[in-house]
Amino acid sequence: MVYAKNRVTEPMVRAGWLNSPRGAPSGVRGDDAFVAVSWDEALDLVAGEVARIRDRYGNPAIFGGSYGWASAGRLHHARTLLHRFLWAAGGATLQTTNYSFGAAMMLLPHVLGNIDAVVGNVTEWREIFAHTERFIAFGGLPSKNWKVASGGAGLHGFEDHAANARASNIVFTSISPMRDDGVAAFGASWQPIRPGADTALILALAHVVHERGAVDHAFLERYCTGGDRFLAYVAGRTDGIPKSPAWAAPLTGISADAIVALAESLIGKRTLFTASWALQRAENGEQPFWALIALAAILGQLGLPGAGIGFGYGSINSTGSEAFRTPAFGMPARSHPGDLSIPVARVADMLLNPGGTVEFDGQTLTYPDVHMVYWAGGNPFHHHQDLFRLRDAFAKPDTIVVHEPWWTATARHADIVLPATTPLERNDIGGSSRDPFLFAMQRAIEPYAQARNDFDIFGALAERLGVREAYDEGLDEDAWLRRMYETAQKRLAERDIPTPSFETFWNEGFLRVPVPDKAVTPLAAFRADPAAKPLATPSGKVELYSQAVADFGYADVPGHPFWIEPNEWLGSPLAARFPLHMVSTQPGDKLHAQMDGSSESRRGKVAGRNELWMHPDDARARNLSDGSVVRVFNDRGATLAGLRISDDIIAGVVRLPTGTWFDPATNGERLDKHGNPNAVTQDIGTSRLGQGCAAQSCLVEVAAYAGDPPPVTAFELPF
């Protein structure tokens, strides 16, 4: 990929933008040609636009997006560098939360006081194998995600954990519309479920626990608030609808008897509940997480070794690893106190509705009038939903600047594209707090063609704007790497962990932090003494009912876990027209959309396109054959995929992984030729509380593609 033909080799400017007066309409982004310019000319153009828009419209008119996994390296983390540069230049509009678990980020502080339960500070595997009897995984434990860790993964524990699981007496259950490879690896049983119905199942499990008299009322009294309200709702005393197995069965597709059996298997057992991050990327995505906390609470499991809740086992490599607390630092990010931050998944709303408002966690935010978008180290045409709507949104700003090694869809929709280096072409330090390694990421080759490091690009721009000292503090790459390492050394020295010199670290290639002697049990200190170690919630307890959330007055997030039927799922009227629920999982052959053009990624495609899983019954009903090109569509658009028929997915559900580069048709049709699921997902928030992405609430129809399918051109050059 370093030498791929679609590498950005020199600064490029979109012809229509270059030939138009600044701020005037300048042709169609995404379908225009690019022309090469010198680095000096490109940097002058970018610096000039930052200054022009800042001076004419104010700093909020500059949007510094750059959400994404640009590199494992901590110094050359493009998003941090961009934000630091924009801070030095006076500020900008930024983003808050994330696409991965944005809804949970806003919910969990109201319920548990922080977001530890979703960011890796969860029950360790060594404690699971010592104490757990039941392990319930909503969303499965897919092995592919165990290869992924922010900052880089040196510890690869999937095979060991899976082997230990199979040899243990722990009963693992995966509740998912798909039988992923983690089911067999962990010796788990598979309980199929209709997508979007997890909250209904959890409430029905709580109903059985309540009916059997197995609620730990002493735990609720001492450690929780709102347990009585939650149980009253579960019993149907507040709305006249008992959340019984009979009620949940038609919603979930699981028989009432199976629900009862699952619930009864939890009673009296040391149980750990988990849910994949994907569960909350849906309409009302906050609810299954809150409901799962409530179920663990009424069983009295929170704070016990090997029990309680923890989100993201199977979503990322580090979940459940030891609490190494490896100090991995880069350049400190900077922002101004007055900088506006919008929820990360609302970028298209912001661009399309300047002056509009969005309700978010009890606030009402006003969207700025954005005239410049600056993106480095990310690909919104991968992460975002309803990509044709995003394409409309990207037509609005005066100027879009992108740093990229390759001609991604985001680069193609830019006005100025600056060629960035890959991790093989620069020096850096990688690492993750839940991984024991710090990595010396030594440059393997010189920068390819005219590529430059993001660190240096922003330094040159800061120089032109007169803010170089604020941006890099007068330090070059080598000096920053040494400062980063020395900062890590000081933190480790405070824990009596010896470290080698920087030169020794750099020559040996890595540093390994020892395994902590004792496992950290989440909420154990709180359970031992809730008065001395209260949670950071208003009550100091686990809030099964949150008065703060209730006071927001959001109908889509009442004050306790609640079943709210999604607008788009198999139980909605829309299913009469689009009778298949599409889930968009992470890909198994890459991280997000990174290096989709590589031979490794292309080998996994079907007919040159992303693979769509479909149950044999659904394929027969549509007269579709394995390996054929199919059209996946709804009212938002369509995408072409290669069909894979499999009984590892339930009937009525199809799976189309993310990560395929967006490749829109050039004739104006809202058609992606490559199999990108976000061509058809809906661009709405999970709720007014979290405003996370709701990609998993998506109905489609699938049909054979008539005639010769158009060629995939995502990896061709746009000039």
- Tell me which residues are annotated as active site: 67, 69
Rg over CA atoms, the chain:
25
Q: Show the tokens assigned to 319.
A: 């979940």
The three-class DSSP label of residue 630 is strand
Q: Which residue bears the tokens 């699921």?
A: 677
User: Alpha-carbon dihedral of residues 383, 387, 392, 394, nearest 10 degrees?
Assistant: 20
Q: Which residues contact 681 (CB under 8 A, 6 or more apart)?
A: 385, 386, 582, 584, 636, 694, 695, 698
**Contact between 252 and 199 (Cβ < 8 Å):** no
In terms of Cα–Cα distance, which of 353, 362, 347, 301 is closest to 134? 301
Q: What gap in Å lies between CA 372 and CA 595, rounded to an integer? A: 27
In terms of Cα–Cα distance, which of 52, 134, 94, 572 is closest to 335? 94
Tell me whether residue 507 is exposed, middle or buried, using C-beta atoms within 10 angstroms of its C-beta: 0 to 12, 13 to 18, 19 or more: exposed
682, HSE (Cβ side, Cα atoms, 13 Å): 21
Strand runs labelled E in 284-423: 308-309, 341-343, 357-360, 363-366, 372-376, 399-404, 416-419
**Contact between 460 and 356 (Cβ < 8 Å):** no
**Contact between 559 and 226 (Cβ < 8 Å):** yes
Q: For 283, list phi and psi in degrees, rounded to 5.
A: -55, 135
Name beta bridge partners: 637: 634
C-alpha torsion sign, points 252, 255, 258, 263: positive
Q: What gap in Å lies between CA 154 and CA 449, rounded to an integer? A: 31
Question: What are the start-end ranges of the H helices in 198-255?
Answer: 198-211, 217-223, 227-235, 245-252
Q: What gap in Å lies between CA 593 and CA 379, rounded to an integer? A: 8
**Contact between 140 and 314 (Cβ < 8 Å):** yes
DSSP secondary structure code for residue 707 in this structure:
S
The three-class DSSP label of residue 639 is strand
